[in-house]
Structure 1
Amino acid sequence: MNLQQYQHWLVEYYKLRQWYGYNPFIRLNFLTEEVGELAQAVRAYEIGRDRPDESAQSQVQKLQHIEEELGDVLNNLLILADKYELNLTDILQASQQKILNRFKDEK
Protein backbone atom coordinates (compact mmCIF):
# COMPACT_ATOMS: atom_id res chain seq x y z
CA MET A 1 0.00 0.00 0.00
CA ASN A 2 1.37 3.41 -0.88
CA LEU A 3 0.80 6.64 1.04
CA GLN A 4 -2.05 7.85 -1.17
CA GLN A 5 -3.87 4.51 -0.89
CA TYR A 6 -3.47 4.65 2.86
CA GLN A 7 -4.77 8.22 2.97
CA HIS A 8 -7.85 7.20 0.99
CA TRP A 9 -8.50 4.27 3.34
CA LEU A 10 -7.92 6.50 6.39
CA VAL A 11 -10.33 9.20 5.20
CA GLU A 12 -13.04 6.61 4.55
CA TYR A 13 -12.44 5.03 7.96
CA TYR A 14 -12.58 8.39 9.71
CA LYS A 15 -15.82 9.18 7.91
CA LEU A 16 -17.26 5.81 8.93
CA ARG A 17 -16.35 6.49 12.58
CA GLN A 18 -17.65 10.08 12.28
CA TRP A 19 -14.22 11.48 13.15
CA TYR A 20 -13.75 13.24 9.82
CA GLY A 21 -16.28 15.97 10.56
CA TYR A 22 -14.03 17.80 13.01
CA ASN A 23 -12.88 21.04 11.46
CA PRO A 24 -9.17 21.59 10.69
CA PHE A 25 -8.67 23.74 13.80
CA ILE A 26 -9.83 20.90 16.04
CA ARG A 27 -7.83 18.39 13.97
CA LEU A 28 -4.75 20.56 14.53
CA ASN A 29 -5.31 20.27 18.26
CA PHE A 30 -5.45 16.46 17.90
CA LEU A 31 -2.19 16.65 15.96
CA THR A 32 -0.62 18.74 18.71
CA GLU A 33 -1.70 16.18 21.30
CA GLU A 34 -0.17 13.37 19.26
CA VAL A 35 3.10 15.30 18.78
CA GLY A 36 3.24 15.65 22.57
CA GLU A 37 2.78 11.89 22.95
CA LEU A 38 5.53 11.33 20.38
CA ALA A 39 7.81 13.68 22.33
CA GLN A 40 7.13 11.71 25.50
CA ALA A 41 7.88 8.41 23.70
CA VAL A 42 11.16 9.75 22.28
CA ARG A 43 12.14 11.07 25.70
CA ALA A 44 11.49 7.68 27.27
CA TYR A 45 13.64 6.00 24.63
CA GLU A 46 16.49 8.50 24.68
CA ILE A 47 16.84 9.58 28.31
CA GLY A 48 14.22 7.63 30.21
CA ARG A 49 11.44 8.70 32.51
CA ASP A 50 11.89 8.60 36.28
CA ARG A 51 8.25 7.81 37.10
CA PRO A 52 7.40 5.19 39.73
CA ASP A 53 3.78 5.15 38.47
CA GLU A 54 4.88 3.89 35.03
CA SER A 55 5.93 0.31 34.39
CA ALA A 56 9.41 -0.28 33.02
CA GLN A 57 9.65 -0.99 29.29
CA SER A 58 12.38 -2.54 27.19
CA GLN A 59 14.04 -0.51 24.44
CA VAL A 60 12.11 -2.60 21.91
CA GLN A 61 8.81 -1.68 23.59
CA LYS A 62 9.87 1.97 23.70
CA LEU A 63 10.71 1.89 20.00
CA GLN A 64 7.32 0.32 19.25
CA HIS A 65 5.70 3.18 21.17
CA ILE A 66 7.57 5.71 19.02
CA GLU A 67 6.37 3.90 15.91
CA GLU A 68 2.77 3.97 17.16
CA GLU A 69 2.91 7.69 17.95
CA LEU A 70 4.51 8.48 14.58
CA GLY A 71 1.54 6.72 13.00
CA ASP A 72 -0.89 8.83 15.00
CA VAL A 73 0.92 12.02 13.95
CA LEU A 74 0.95 10.90 10.32
CA ASN A 75 -2.77 10.07 10.42
CA ASN A 76 -3.63 13.56 11.58
CA LEU A 77 -1.39 15.12 8.92
CA LEU A 78 -3.04 13.03 6.22
CA ILE A 79 -6.51 14.01 7.36
CA LEU A 80 -5.51 17.70 7.41
CA ALA A 81 -4.12 17.42 3.88
CA ASP A 82 -7.37 15.84 2.74
CA LYS A 83 -9.46 18.51 4.46
CA TYR A 84 -7.64 21.15 2.42
CA GLU A 85 -7.73 18.99 -0.72
CA LEU A 86 -3.94 19.00 -0.93
CA ASN A 87 -2.23 16.32 -3.00
CA LEU A 88 0.43 14.32 -1.16
CA THR A 89 2.68 14.06 -4.21
CA ASP A 90 2.52 17.82 -4.70
CA ILE A 91 3.30 18.40 -1.01
CA LEU A 92 6.33 16.10 -1.11
CA GLN A 93 7.64 17.54 -4.38
CA ALA A 94 7.25 21.12 -3.14
CA SER A 95 8.99 20.25 0.11
CA GLN A 96 11.85 18.58 -1.74
CA GLN A 97 12.22 21.59 -4.02
CA LYS A 98 12.21 23.97 -1.07
CA ILE A 99 15.04 22.02 0.59
CA LEU A 100 17.05 21.81 -2.63
CA ASN A 101 16.62 25.54 -3.25
CA ARG A 102 17.59 26.39 0.30
CA PHE A 103 20.85 24.48 0.12
CA LYS A 104 21.67 24.74 -3.60
CA ASP A 105 24.89 26.63 -2.97
CA GLU A 106 26.25 23.89 -0.67
CA LYS A 107 28.09 21.31 -2.71
Structure 2
Amino acid sequence: MTITDAEQWTKTFYRKRGWSEYGPFIRMGFLMEEAGELARAVRAYEIGRDRPDEAKRPAAELKKELIEEMGDVMGNLIMLAGIYDVSLEDMMDAHRRKLTKRFAGEHHEDQ
Protein backbone atom coordinates (compact mmCIF):
# COMPACT_ATOMS: atom_id res chain seq x y z
CA MET A 1 0.00 0.00 0.00
CA THR A 2 1.43 3.37 -0.97
CA ILE A 3 1.35 6.32 1.40
CA THR A 4 -1.36 7.93 -0.76
CA ASP A 5 -3.44 4.73 -0.73
CA ALA A 6 -3.07 4.49 3.05
CA GLU A 7 -4.13 8.09 3.43
CA GLN A 8 -7.23 7.64 1.26
CA TRP A 9 -8.22 4.31 2.85
CA THR A 10 -7.91 5.78 6.35
CA LYS A 11 -9.98 8.86 5.54
CA THR A 12 -12.71 6.74 3.91
CA PHE A 13 -12.81 4.19 6.74
CA TYR A 14 -12.85 6.83 9.48
CA ARG A 15 -15.56 8.79 7.64
CA LYS A 16 -17.78 5.67 7.35
CA ARG A 17 -17.41 5.07 11.11
CA GLY A 18 -18.19 8.71 11.96
CA TRP A 19 -14.67 9.18 13.32
CA SER A 20 -13.80 12.02 10.94
CA GLU A 21 -16.10 14.44 12.76
CA TYR A 22 -13.72 14.99 15.67
CA GLY A 23 -11.89 18.31 15.83
CA PRO A 24 -8.17 18.82 16.35
CA PHE A 25 -8.19 18.75 20.16
CA ILE A 26 -10.07 15.46 20.35
CA ARG A 27 -7.96 14.03 17.53
CA MET A 28 -4.79 15.02 19.44
CA GLY A 29 -6.15 13.19 22.48
CA PHE A 30 -6.64 10.05 20.39
CA LEU A 31 -3.18 10.46 18.87
CA MET A 32 -1.59 10.74 22.32
CA GLU A 33 -3.55 7.72 23.57
CA GLU A 34 -2.33 5.69 20.61
CA ALA A 35 1.23 6.97 21.10
CA GLY A 36 1.06 5.66 24.67
CA GLU A 37 -0.14 2.29 23.43
CA LEU A 38 2.73 2.27 20.92
CA ALA A 39 5.19 3.07 23.74
CA ARG A 40 3.81 0.12 25.70
CA ALA A 41 4.16 -2.16 22.67
CA VAL A 42 7.76 -1.04 22.10
CA ARG A 43 8.58 -1.72 25.75
CA ALA A 44 6.94 -5.14 25.64
CA TYR A 45 8.82 -6.03 22.46
CA GLU A 46 12.21 -4.70 23.58
CA ILE A 47 12.45 -5.45 27.31
CA GLY A 48 9.20 -7.11 28.29
CA ARG A 49 6.68 -5.97 30.85
CA ASP A 50 8.04 -7.98 33.83
CA ARG A 51 4.61 -8.42 35.41
CA PRO A 52 3.48 -11.54 37.25
CA ASP A 53 -0.10 -10.99 36.08
CA GLU A 54 0.86 -11.07 32.39
CA ALA A 55 2.03 -14.19 30.59
CA LYS A 56 5.17 -14.02 28.49
CA ARG A 57 4.18 -13.65 24.83
CA PRO A 58 5.97 -14.87 21.70
CA ALA A 59 8.08 -12.32 19.80
CA ALA A 60 5.89 -12.69 16.68
CA GLU A 61 2.80 -11.73 18.67
CA LEU A 62 4.59 -8.74 20.21
CA LYS A 63 5.79 -7.59 16.79
CA LYS A 64 2.25 -7.89 15.38
CA GLU A 65 0.97 -5.69 18.21
CA LEU A 66 3.81 -3.20 17.62
CA ILE A 67 2.91 -2.90 13.94
CA GLU A 68 -0.80 -2.50 14.72
CA GLU A 69 -0.08 0.28 17.22
CA MET A 70 2.13 2.05 14.69
CA GLY A 71 -0.83 1.91 12.30
CA ASP A 72 -3.15 3.36 14.95
CA VAL A 73 -0.75 6.28 15.45
CA MET A 74 -0.47 6.79 11.69
CA GLY A 75 -4.26 6.70 11.26
CA ASN A 76 -4.72 9.46 13.79
CA LEU A 77 -1.88 11.48 12.27
CA ILE A 78 -3.49 11.12 8.84
CA MET A 79 -6.78 12.42 10.23
CA LEU A 80 -5.09 15.30 12.06
CA ALA A 81 -3.23 16.26 8.89
CA GLY A 82 -6.53 16.16 7.00
CA ILE A 83 -8.05 18.70 9.39
CA TYR A 84 -5.37 21.13 8.25
CA ASP A 85 -5.50 20.05 4.59
CA VAL A 86 -1.97 18.63 4.71
CA SER A 87 -1.06 15.46 2.85
CA LEU A 88 1.42 12.98 4.27
CA GLU A 89 3.53 13.56 1.17
CA ASP A 90 3.63 17.31 1.90
CA MET A 91 4.37 16.60 5.56
CA MET A 92 7.30 14.33 4.75
CA ASP A 93 8.66 16.71 2.11
CA ALA A 94 8.63 19.53 4.69
CA HIS A 95 10.25 17.24 7.26
CA ARG A 96 12.99 16.25 4.82
CA ARG A 97 13.65 19.89 3.82
CA LYS A 98 13.81 21.01 7.44
CA LEU A 99 16.28 18.31 8.47
CA THR A 100 18.36 18.63 5.31
CA LYS A 101 18.70 22.37 5.89
CA ARG A 102 19.41 21.94 9.61
CA PHE A 103 22.17 19.41 9.03
CA ALA A 104 23.43 20.77 5.69
CA GLY A 105 27.05 20.85 6.86
CA GLU A 106 27.09 17.13 7.60
CA HIS A 107 27.67 14.49 4.96
CA HIS A 108 24.94 11.88 4.61
CA GLU A 109 24.72 9.40 1.77
CA ASP A 110 20.89 9.53 1.57
CA GLN A 111 20.39 13.30 1.24
TM-score by length of 1: 0.93
1:63 Cα deviation from its structure 2 partner = 1.1
Q: Quick one: distance in 2 between partners of 1:46 and 1:68?
A: 16
Q: How many equivalent pairs are there?
A: 107
**Residue of structure 1 equivalent to 2:4:** 4
Q: Quick one: distance in 2 between partners of 1:93 and 1:99?
A: 10
Q: Quick one: distance in 2 between partners of 1:45 and 1:88?
A: 27
Matched, 1:40 2:62: no
Q: Quick one: distance in 1 between partners of 2:74 and 2:88?
A: 12
TM-score by length of 2: 0.90
Runs of at least 5 residues in structure 2 that lack an aligned partner in the other structure: none
List 4+ stretches of structure 1 deviating above 2 A: none
Within 5 Å, which residues of 2 pair with 1:20-59? 20-59=20-59
Q: Quick one: distance in 1 between partners of 2:6 and 2:50?
A: 37
1:6 Cα deviation from its structure 2 partner = 1.8
Q: Quick one: distance in 1 between partners of 2:94 and 2:15?
A: 28
Runs of at least 5 residues in structure 1 that lack an aligned partner in the other structure: none
Identity of aligned residues (%): 46
